[in-house]
Structure 1
Amino acid sequence: MTDQRVIIEMGMGNDLHGMDYQKAAARAIEDAIRHSTLPIFQSIGLETDAMRVQVTIGVQEPDKIDTVALVAKLPRGRATVSAVLGGMNVPNPETGDTAVIATAAVEAFLPSQASKWVQG
């Protein structure tokens, strides 16, 4: 049985003064998952470990992301995190600071649930 994507949420996070890509990425994931709830688990008696979660983080320096640490922050499902080139760095020439902006796409996949729904 193949997995079907049941939700995709996007989020944005930043670190305004420390150029901390990890902090910005964690905030982007938190922003994305705060926008959703999955009542399907209670509705059809499905365990949350049946869900596969795929997270893609976009930052200007993806090699500075600890994807394993970000997986540990996800509350449910079997998660993977990948970091890609994206996001944005916004320098402030007056202070020398650079704001780091990270974007996140959080996708949740479930085995097909078509047999559990009856059209009435």
Structure 2
Amino acid sequence: MEQRIIIEMGMGNDLHGMDYQKAARRAIEDAIRHSTLPIFQSIDIPHTEMRVLVTVGVQEPDQIDPEALKSGLPRGHAQVQVVKGGLNIPNAETGDTAVVATAAVEAFLPSQVGKWVQS
């Protein structure tokens, strides 16, 4: 059994290139930039015990390479899933479309129930 120890949300965009991969990478970076996990030093658990689940939302999920996004995750065993979401915002004046991606990064550890004693 696992326990979720953190969930962070992020947003990323590509304003001129319609690059879904770039927007998704930026969304993941935004999410993990807001967190730190001092629990690994505090209770002596190796970060390799952590499972990381990343969910990325973009308007064209087939434009994303989930395996390439894993390389930007600094810790744990990562899984990236891509779903329809985010936004495409067209600019009629320039013909550009801004791509907005959203990401949720969740981290799980094996259950710690019964392993902690309050002193």
TM bracket, shorter-chain basis: over 0.9
Secondary structure in structure 2 of the residue aligned to 1:75: coil
The equivalent residue for 1:89 is 88
CA RMSD of aligned residues (A): 0.8
Structure 2 residue 35 is matched with structure 1 residue 63: no
Structure 2 residue 20 is matched with structure 1 residue 21: yes
Secondary structure in structure 2 of the residue aligned to 1:24: helix
Letter in 2 for 1:77: G
Letter in 1 for 2:106: E
Deviation of 1:119 after TM superposition, in Å, equals 3.1
Q: Percent identity?
A: 75
What is the alpha-carbon distance in structure 1 between the residues aligned to residue 114 and residue 34 of structure 2? Answer: 28
Question: Could you list the runs of 5+ residues in structure 2 that have no partner in the other structure?
Answer: none
What is the alpha-carbon distance in structure 2 between the residues aligned to residue 59 and residue 84 of structure 1? Answer: 7
What is the alpha-carbon distance in structure 1 between the residues aligned to residue 118 and residue 41 of structure 2? Answer: 19
What is the alpha-carbon distance in structure 1 between the residues aligned to residue 106 and residue 17 of structure 2? Answer: 28
What is the alpha-carbon distance in structure 2 between the residues aligned to residue 70 and residue 118 of structure 1? Answer: 38
Deviation of 1:72 after TM superposition, in Å, equals 1.4
The equivalent residue for 2:40 is 41
Secondary structure in structure 1 of the residue aligned to 2:34: coil
Q: TM-score, normalised by structure 2?
A: 0.97
What is the alpha-carbon distance in structure 1 between the residues aligned to residue 105 and residue 48 of structure 2? Answer: 16
Secondary structure in structure 1 of the residue aligned to 2:83: strand
Q: TM-score, normalised by structure 1?
A: 0.96
CA contact 1:44–1:116 (8 Å) conserved in 2: no
Question: Could you list the runs of 5+ residues in structure 1 that have no partner in the other structure?
Answer: none
Secondary structure in structure 1 of the residue aligned to 2:114: helix
What is the alpha-carbon distance in structure 2 between the residues aligned to residue 3 and residue 77 of structure 1? Answer: 14
CA contact 1:58–1:103 (8 Å) conserved in 2: yes
Secondary structure in structure 2 of the residue aligned to 1:90: strand
